[in-house]
Structure 1
């Protein structure tokens, strides 16, 4: 399983200037390649390399950094095309679609730049890196990190991206923590912990009592916190003084850090709960939910502004680290189907919080009912995956 570890660099003043100049040079080259790629019919890295490699070398880039710049541009255009094809920028012919597709991709002067092992090497025991720069090879560039990050760096594999943010340099290192063990009957958990994600309550599990939900996981409390930040941001924007702009710059990532922290707390609690009870985790898949659901304006803002994909990813990698299986479940109709008798009816959910089955009469919290359905689907999905295990690795059982 691949993860990204963010490491803060501590360069000397001379190294700082060289790294900043390196990013500027790489992104100048990326913009040059982007202008060609915008009109090219073949945007694969090798096809672009034939036309721009010599120009990048003349610009001052060495061989391998030039290739990484070309690959960065090709990946950016591939990502944009995938977003255009999936409708993330509207329908073909719409104003937004035309604006996005009608101009070359632009790279900021300080945009991140990927480096491979030929351009960057790690001296983990010395807490330093050696990195290519426009001023030559920089050796002994220090870094600081937590002990758990240092441990993960021993499994580093792949690219490391140099990122400049808020006046500091960081390396985003890709690490491979290994593949989770195969699904075999001996690893069958004692049960499944279903996790229902939502707007009013960020997450409700099969072990929770939704009527006594921890306020930290209530979207009402989270929304209140974010609204206060939004009100302050709006007030500072209206003032427009230099002091107000300094405060805005200082606070610009505050909400993102808050959401990330809440997701870390929540995912850690869920994984600890599953580990304590010996259960697997079944979490609903909210991919493309913005295209599937129709909500009011206020709810759309709440839904779009919370990082549910980040929460699911955190649950997944923490569960794998703890040796717990995870199943990602399609949540279709889980909130309108009775977990007790399996009866589906949209009228089973007369309100956001209440679930009342029109067939068997079971009554309870709607989010808790959905979590129970997700847990059952997780068990089914796990068993279906087990059926693909080779017969030689599966013990025989009596029919």
Structure 2
């Protein structure tokens, strides 16, 4: 993060602090949809192998316990909730915490290995976005019972909706699935994802969402697992994968602008994850990191989910020195930087 960016972020945080009066958050609630980057425990309640409810996941989180977050600590969405003035996080919808007054601050419907492409979630027994929307409908009925119809309507229209998807569609499906990569070019596959994205946003809008922040794809080619599997014995980011991500992100930007122009009252912001993470990976020392190629967990070359466990040999002692926690997911320290970038780019969703 440059000096000007740092000063702007500090200023915005100061402004937000001034607005957060008497412990009141800046928006009524926060709703989160998507994949493992924002899953806070929904996959714990599924029959999937894609879980993070065991050590060393969560070792730097509250009480040093795993929650289902694919990280050593907080996610970027956790920091975002804090930046918005929330003192607790929206509960994972499938957990026991998702009831009563806990639902007044929103809910998290995300599921590790989900994506815009319906089949990606089905491959891993995750919750597809279509089902996440069904849970949101169910949530709305519960909210009316808790807050009353008028208050529920105000909460739904005034809240922020975060969407994070697409990475699993490429990294955990397209690139390793000959049924896809032999049939579709990356450009054609991204078009399919964009069509699903449009339908998802339209459906979310139809359910009352008006302030939506959607994250871009990260530099997929810089994920440790991607370099290990597809880097041809190089320690450099896989250029082709990053080009695919940039191409998708360009389509996401154009499509989102079109949706905002078409849907009355919709405010949609594309939150760039690509450039901030790419900057960190390519210049780790300048961003306070020691290691960008290897992740903290195990060998740091491939491990994620069940491969990253308490017996993983070589797991680092200090995750804050590492850009990545496991082969696919950023460390808490990286998530903090990404969340501050989200704050500056998504401020228009608040005011």
**Structure 1 length-normalised TM:** 0.29
Which structure has the greater CA radius of gyration?
1
**Structure 2 length-normalised TM:** 0.31
Greater relative contact order (Cα < 8 A, sep 6+):
2
